[in-house]
Structure 1
Amino acid sequence: MARLSHLLSTPGLGLRLVQAGAGDPDLSWVSTTELLDLGAYLDGGELVLTTGLALEEDDPRWHDFVASLGRARVAAIGFGVGVAHARIPRPLVAAASAYRVALIEVPPPTPFIAVSKAVAALLEADELSAAHRALQAHRELFVGGQNPAATIATLAQATGRRIAALRADGSLLAGSSGLAGGSDPGAHAERIPLDTAGTVLVVAGDDPLSPDARALLAAGAMALGIELRSAGGEQDRERERWERLTALLLGRAGAAPADGGVASARVLDPSMRFPGQVRAIAVAGGAEALSDWRRSPRTGLERLVATNDGDGGIGGWQLCPDDEAALGTAVNAAVSAGLDAVVGRPAPLARAATSARSAAAAFAARPPFASGEAPAPRVRWVDREEPVFEAVLAGSADLAGIVAAVLGPLATAVDAEAQELRRTARVLLAHHGQRQPAAAELRIHRNTLRDRLARIEQLTGRSFGDADDRSELWFALRIEALTREPSLPPIEPTE
C-alpha cells in the first residue's frame, strides 16, 4: 500500500510531519480544497491539501474543519504555508492533535501539483506491486501441484485475510493461522463453494475486498476444487486397489495365491505387517450406509475392505486381524455406520476364504437384522454364539465348556429355580416347542410356562423361536444330563 510515510520520504518535496495521526495511514487519493466542510465528498484515505484562505489564524472554525475531515477518515491534512498564512495556525495543530489526524507542512517551494503527482506515482507503484504479487500467487496456485493447506496459505498471504476450507459437516480441512484452530470466522465471512460434496472456502474479514484480491480468491477456489477432485480421484483409485486385493484374499476373485496375497499387498504398502490369523466380517445395511462405511478413511490393515459382488444380503466384507482391539475397531465402525455385522471364525491369512464362508453361512441362516428383525445394528460372532457347532467342527472334547457357553448361569446353578428352569426347557424341547402339551406335562398354567421361558431366554441369551438356538439348548441339556454324575443312595452297612 502507498502510505503517508512513503510520501514524507519522497525526495524533493520537503514535506514535514507536524502532528502524527493514528499509525501510518494508507493513501487513496489527493484532494485540494478551501472549503470548510469537505467530509461529505470524501471516501476515506485522502490527503487533503489546503492553504486556509477561508479562515483567519485564530478562527475557532479550524476545530470544525478538522472534525469534519476526521469523521471522513482522511489519511492526513497537508497545509501549504506562505500563501495565506506564514505558518500553520495553532488552532489547526491543536485540532489535529485532538482528533488524531496527521498534519504535514508543505513548504513554499513545493506546489500542490507536485504532491499530487508524488501520491499518484506511489499509487501506481503499489498497483504494479499488487499485480506482481497477484501474478506470483497465481503461479503458486497452479504450478507445482500444491495441497489444500499450501493453497490456503498462499491465498491468506496474498489477500491478508483469514481463510479456511471447511467440509460439509463443518470440520476443518485446512486453514490459515487465524482459522486453523476452528475459531468463528464471523458473521461477515464469505463462503465460496468448492465442490458438490459441500466443501466451502471461508474468507473472514470486515474490509471490502479489492478487485485483485477477489480475482485471486476466485482463482484459488478453482485451484482448490481441482486439488480436491484430484485427491478424491486418487483416494478412489487407492481404495479400488485394496478392494481388489481383499476380494483376492477372500477367494472372491478366483483362487487365492499361495502366499495368501502377501506379495500383492506389499506392492501396495511395503511396510505392511501381516497377522497370522484373520477374521472375515460380513456387513449389511442400506446402500447409503454401506457407501459411507466403504469410503470412510482407513490406514494399514483397515484398508482390507471389499464390496460384495454377489447376492444373499451381504453388502460388504472386511478382513481384520484376529486381535480384540482391531476387531473392536472394525465392528464399532460398522455399527457406527448403521450396519449389521457377522464376524467369521478365525483362519490363517492364506485361508481367509474359510472365515468368509463361515460368516456367509451364518448370515444365510439368519436374514439381515437391518431388514426389520432389530431396530438397531447388531453384531454376531460365529464361533462365540454357536459353541456346540463350533465344538463339533473343531473336534473339541471340552463338554463342560460347551454347556457353560450355552446355558450360562443355568449351567452352574444348583438351586431349585435353576433345576426347575432346566427341566422346563427340556420338556418344551421334547414337545418340539409346543407349549400346551409342555405345560400339561409340567402341570403348570400356560402363563407360568411363558414366564419361565422368558427367564430362560434372559439367562442364556437364546431364543426358543430360533432354530439354531433351540438346537444348541437341546444339545447342551443332553450333554449335561449324560455327563452329570448320578446321585447314588447311601450304602447300607452289612451284617
Structure 2
Amino acid sequence: MSLSLADVLAHPSFAAGRPVVRAGADLLTQPVRWVHSSEVIDIAHLLRGGELLLTGGFALASADPAGLRRYVRELSARRVAGVAVETGPQLPQIPAELVEEATEVGLPVVELRGVVPFVEVAEAINGLLVNESVQRLRRGDAVAHALSEELARGGGPDELLEVLARLLPGDVTLLDATGDVIAALGDEMTAPAAGSGVFAVPVSVQGVGVATLLVSPDDPADHVTAEAIVERAPTALAISLLRSFPPSAAVRAAQALLRIVCQPNPAPERLVAAARAAGMVDGASYVGVVGRAVDGPVSLAAIDAALHRYAAGTVSSVAGDELHAIVVLRSDDRVGSCAALV
C-alpha cells in the first residue's frame, strides 16, 4: 500500500525513536516517496519532494534563528513530506523557531526522543516503497497489454470497459463531455461525490476533453490496479473513441480555439473567428478557467465534469497536469453565475 507519513512513523523501525509530532499534526496523511537522512542544513536543493528527512540535529544545533527558519522554508518549498529530528545531548530540544516556522508553512516536524539507526529505517521503509513501485509498474504493463489486445481486435468502448472490469471488479462508466453515458458496465454512475471512492479520469482526443471514465472498485484496497487504470486506460479509450466517434467539426473548432487562446498575444480577429467557429455567441459573457493538478488527473476530471454540468457550452481541454476551459456565464445574473462557478 502507499505509505503516508503516519504509516511511516508507526513502522516498527521507528519504535526506538518514540516519535512525537511537534508541527503539522494535521498533515500526516500526505504520502512519503522516500526516506533520506542528512546532517547538511543546505540540503533542500538536492531533494525532489515527498521525502521524509531524518537528521540528528548537529547542524541545527549551531544554526541561528534566521538559518533555522530558512531551512524550514526551503524544505517546504521542495514539498518535502516532513523532517524528523533526533534530540539528545547535542540538541536537547527542537528549536522553537524551527517549530514556529514549520507550523506557519505547513511542514510536519517530528521529534525522535530516542536513538534511531537511520540506515536501518531508510532500508526498511524504502524497501517497502520500491516493492510497491515494482508492483505498480507490473500492474500498469498488464493493464496496457490487456487494453492493447482488445484494441487490436477492434474493441470499442464497451469492450474496453469489460477489460477494465475484469482487471478491477466493480462498476465502470464512460461519460461524454455533457455527462451522457457512452458505455457502462454494472451500475451507471454520474459525477462522483467527494470521498465516494470513485475514480474520475479525463479522456482527451486530440487535446480536447471528450469523456470521463468513472471507476468504482469493489475492493477499494486494490489501489495499485486502480492507479494503473487511471494512468493507462485514457489512452486506449481515446483511440477507441476516435474510431467510434471521430471528432466532430465542433470538437475540432473547440480544439483550435483553445490552442489560439493559450498562445501569447493572439491576433484579435483570429480569436474572434475561432470563437465563432466553436459556437461562441456574440454578446455572451465567458470566463476562462485554468487548473493545474497536484494529485494527478483524477482531480482535473472532477473539475472538468463540474464545468460541463454548470454550462453545456463549456469548451475544455485536459493535457498532462493542466485543464484549460472557456465557460459561458448565464446572461441573467453574471455576478451570481461567477459565484456559482467558483
Q: Compute the TM-score of the two structures, normalised by the length of structure 2.
A: 0.46
Q: Give 1 or 2 for the bigger CA radius of gyration.
A: 1
Q: Which has the higher contact order (CA 8 A, sep 6+)?
A: 2
Pick the structure with more strand per residue: 2
Q: Compute the TM-score of the two structures, normalised by the length of structure 1.
A: 0.33
